[in-house]
């Protein structure tokens, strides 16, 4: 019974930014739960192909599609690709994101716009790309990756914080709009997770951040991925419109 509640066998999932970091861990976890994957990426063909091979070793199908989901037409092509390859789409994971950190006085319009487009416009773009097929099949799950920064803010991250807070508002609205079509919409707001992005932070700053976390450690991509699987699964069938905080007690 418990295993069935977390079974995603024969479901089809789109994961944006799925070739590394949290996205990669999500792809692997969804495949282990039984889902076939359309893996979106924007940079490295090699990294995407390596993740695809890991999915296929688990006996699931994986199609890789290179696209900038911050651009509306490219995101729509992603929706067309999943229907062409699989004939359905059950899960959308909006994970693609970048940061261009500067204090407001130093931040350029280009740095603001790039982060807004990649982190927030992509969520609108990709949701638009899958919503009609999900409505037609009267089922679906949409999960967007927000951040602790969207809840508490952070010096030098006005652009990033704005996108991650925007995701929370978008999620709540979509949950209300799409509930009638049996489509659940949720967000996850991770704290500081061991990814390439965190790896660029100097050691003394990392230690300072860690000292503020109640559990005294950073999270892992795999921990976030397990939460994604839960929210996608039948075990979470009565959960919509929430933002799941995962931050080790950093923001309570």
Catalytically active residues are 160
The span from the CA of 245 to the CA of 31, in Å, is 24
Q: Are 164 and 150 in contact (CB under 8 A)?
A: yes
Token pair in block for residue 78 = 């992603």
Beta strands in 47-123 (DSSP E): 62-66, 91-94
- Residue 148 has φ and ψ, to the nearest 5°, of -55, -30
Cα-based angle 143, 146, 147 (whole degrees, multiple of 5): 145
**Residue with the two structure tokens 């990756």:** 145
CA–CA distance, 13 with 40 (Å, rounded to integer): 11
Q: Is the dihedral of CA 184, 189, 193, 195 positive or negative?
A: positive
CA torsion angle for 108, 115, 76, 79 (degrees, to 10)?
170
Region of 138 please: left (phi>0), alpha (psi -120 to 50) or beta.
left
For 81-118, give one letter per residue: b (16+ CB within 10 A) or e. bbbeebebbbbbbbbbbbbbbeeeeebeeebbebbbbb
């Amino acid at each position: 019974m418990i295993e069935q509640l977390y079974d995603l066998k024969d479901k089809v999932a789109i994961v944006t930014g799925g070739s590394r970091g949290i996205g990669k861990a999500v792809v692997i976890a969804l495949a282990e739960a039984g889902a076939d994957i359309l893996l979106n990426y924007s940079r490295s063909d090699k990294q995407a192909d390596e993740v695809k091979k890991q999915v296929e070793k688990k006996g699931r199908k994986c199609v890789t599609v290179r696209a900038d989901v911050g651009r509306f037409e490219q995101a729509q092509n992603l929706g067309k690709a999943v229907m062409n390859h699989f004939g359905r789409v059950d899960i959308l994971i909006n994970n693609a994101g970048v940061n261009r950190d500067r204090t407001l006085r130093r931040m350029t319009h280009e740095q603001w716009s790039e982060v807004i487009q990649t982190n927030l416009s992509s969520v609108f773009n990709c949701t638009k790309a899958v919503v009609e097929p999900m409505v037609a099949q009267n089922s679906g799950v949409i999960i967007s990756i927000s951040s602790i920064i969207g809840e508490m803010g952070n010096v030098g991250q006005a652009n990033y914080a704005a996108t991650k807070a925007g995701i929370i508002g978008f999620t709540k609205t979509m949950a209300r709009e799409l509930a009638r079509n049996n489509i659940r919409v949720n967000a996850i707001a991770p704290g500081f997770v061991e990814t390439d992005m965190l790896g660029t932070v100097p050691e003394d700053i990392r230690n300072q951040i860690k000292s503020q976390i109640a559990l005294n450690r950073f999270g892992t991509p795999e921990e976030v991925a397990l939460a994604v699987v839960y929210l996608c699964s039948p075990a979470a069938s009565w959960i919509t419109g929430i933002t799941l905080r995962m931050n080790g007690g950093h923001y309570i």
